[in-house]
């Protein structure tokens, strides 16, 4: 594998990378930034000053590192996402069904570990962190100043998974992977606003068109070892569910199996993994189980238009049962201008920036088991979580070269742009 040198090149960090400036709505959506909801001039005048940061969810630690959104990405502080751990474990051990699910999560998706923080966002006022906790089957809001739980929402099926925040930052959608349902909650209060049914193991959620729709991708039964293509039927119902974000009514269902077959790729799985839209929402780029690459889907014509196969690492086995939760590659992001894609080659131990027009990849940047890819606060870099090295690494969208790495907690997964009070440097509680 033609992997680029791990040596980070020098780069000026003049502070311009530490704040969002003049970013368009499309850029904000691409970066996953939660912008404060408008609450009138008077409220804005009294709102506390906020600073842009990034949250890193350390799944096996049950912590969230708060890092700078650019520059050297230095760590600012750490938040305990499981301050109620003893209470939650006591409740789990008193419920035989819950205990069976808890132990099953540890043995399968958790790779022998508890999954304590999967996804996480900040509230619009920057005062709280909202996180899904798979092993505890819930979503919680944690006060970033006191470290205490504000509210808790338990999902059906005892396991929570990926989340997504509405463009205005006021609502959060969370997948209940064993309950086959997606909940939409008020991010400030945890009150359920609605829900909708999805396929087996609902996974990724994406708000589109300014918050008009929610797209959910169900990935099926990835925890089994029945990974031979002949056993694909055992993986369950895998499809994309598109709902009206106001009524929660299903407006469209997309089964990629027929689209893949029509494109001539019957060999590829129809389990849609991480996915990103173009800024105008006309194209969807997505990864599928077992595949070292991604596909392009045209929303208007309802067909797959291109496929990109990325290099394999010769050191990576092609034995599908060795892929973590069926994912050979897991993690995608797009530059705010829509010109570049960033791909996390999870099992192949690299990340790379791909030109969207030509689909040609840049340098293969060595990273250890990258589990996610997002966009830096200033939009210049792709930020990937190295779950195998307990660090996050930034890669310049323009050059495809590594910019910086910073050490975080045990098994970082989701990385999200966020905001906190300007004077924050860690919980006081």
For 153-174, write each residue's pLDDT tens digit: 999 999 999 999 999 999 999 9
The residues spanned by each domain of the chain are: 17-421
**pLDDT by 10s per residue, the chain, length 429:** 444 333 333 333 334 333 333 333 334 333 444 444 444 444 445 667 999 999 999 999 999 999 999 999 999 999 999 999 999 999 999 999 999 999 999 998 899 999 999 999 999 999 999 999 999 999 999 999 999 999 999 999 999 999 999 999 999 999 999 999 999 999 999 999 999 999 999 999 999 999 999 999 999 988 888 878 888 888 999 999 999 999 999 999 999 999 999 999 999 999 999 999 999 999 999 999 999 999 999 999 999 999 999 999 999 999 999 998 999 999 999 999 999 999 999 999 999 999 999 999 999 999 999 999 999 999 999 999 999 999 999 999 999 999 999 999 999 999 999 999 999 989 986
Q: What whole-number distance in Å separates Cα of residue 89 and Cα of residue 56?
A: 24
Q: Give the pLDDT score at 429.
A: 65
What the block records as the tokens of 349 is 């131990």
CATH fold for domain 17-421: Methylamine Dehydrogenase; Chain H (2.130.10)
As a three-state string, the secondary structure of the chain is CCECCCCCCCCCCCCHHHCCCCCCHHHHHHHCCCCCCCCCHHHHHHCCCEEEEEEEEECCCCEEEEECCCCCCCEEEEEECCCCHHHHHHHHHCCHHHHHHHHHHHHCCCCCCCCCCCCEEECCCCCEEEEEEHHHCEEEEEECCCCCEEEEEECHHHCEEEEEECCCCCEEEEEECCCCEEEEEECCCCCEEEEEECCCCEEEEEEEHHHCEEEEEECCCCCCCCCCHHHHHHHCCCCEEEEECCCCCEEEEECHHHHHHHCCCCCCCCCEEEEEECCCCCEEEEEECCCCEEEEEECCCCEEEEEEECCCCCCCCCCHHHCHHHCCCCCEEECCCCCEEEEEECCCCEEEEEECCCCCECCEEECCCEEEEEECCCCCEEEEEECCCCEEEEEECCCCCEEEEEECCCCEEEEEEEEEECCCCCCCC
> What pTM, to 2 d.p., does this model score?
0.88
């Amino acid at each position: 594998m033609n992997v680029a040198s791990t040596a980070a090149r020098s780069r000026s960090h003049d502070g311009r990378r530490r704040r969002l400036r003049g970013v368009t709505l499309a850029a904000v959506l691409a970066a996953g930034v939660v912008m404060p909801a408008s609450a009138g001039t008077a409220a804005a005048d009294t709102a506390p000053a906020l600073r842009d940061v990034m949250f890193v969810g350390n799944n096996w630690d049950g912590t969230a590192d708060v890092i700078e959104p650019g520059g050297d990405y230095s760590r600012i502080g750490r938040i305990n996402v499981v301050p109620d751990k003893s209470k939650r474990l006591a409740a789990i051990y008193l419920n035989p069904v819950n205990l069976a699910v808890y132990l099953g999560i540890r043995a399968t998706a958790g790779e022998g570990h508890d999954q304590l923080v999967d996804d996480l966002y900040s509230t619009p006022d920057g005062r709280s962190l909202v996180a899904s906790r798979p092993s505890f089957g819930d979503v919680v809001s944690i006060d970033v100043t006191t470290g205490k739980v504000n509210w808790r929402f338990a999902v059906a099926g005892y396991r929570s998974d990926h989340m997504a925040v509405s463009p205005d930052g006021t609502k959060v959608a969370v997948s209940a992977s064993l309950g086959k349902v997606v909940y939409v909650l008020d991010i400030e209060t945890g009150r359920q606003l609605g829900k909708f049914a999805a396929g087996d193991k609902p996974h990724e959620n994406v708000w589109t068109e300014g918050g008009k729709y929610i797209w959910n991708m169900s990935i099926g039964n990835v925890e089994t070892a029945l990974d031979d293509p002949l056993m694909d039927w055992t993986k369950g119902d895998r499809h994309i569910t598109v709902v009206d974000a106001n009524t929660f009514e299903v407006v469209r269902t997309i089964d990629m199996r027929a689209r893949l077959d029509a494109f001539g790729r019957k060999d590829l799985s129809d389990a849609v993994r991480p996915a990103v839209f173009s800024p105008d929402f006309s194209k969807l780029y997505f990864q599928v189980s077992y595949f070292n690459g991604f596909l392009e889907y045209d929303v208007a014509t309802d067909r797959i238009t291109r496929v990109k196969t990325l290099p394999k690492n010769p050191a990576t086995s092609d034995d599908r049962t060795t892929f973590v939760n069926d994912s050979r590659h897991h993690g995608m992001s797009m530059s705010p201008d829509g010109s570049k894609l960033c791909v996390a080659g999870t099992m192949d131990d690299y990340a790379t920036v791909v030109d969207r027009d030509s689909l040609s990849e840049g340098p293969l940047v060595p990273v250890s088991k990258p589990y996610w890819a997002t966009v830096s606060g200033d939009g210049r870099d792709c930020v990937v979580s190295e779950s195998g090295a307990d660090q996050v690494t930034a890669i310049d969208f323009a050059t495809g070269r590594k910019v910086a790495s910073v050490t975080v907690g045990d098994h970082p997964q989701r990385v999200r742009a966020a905001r906190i009070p300007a004077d924050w440097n860690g919980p006081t509680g």
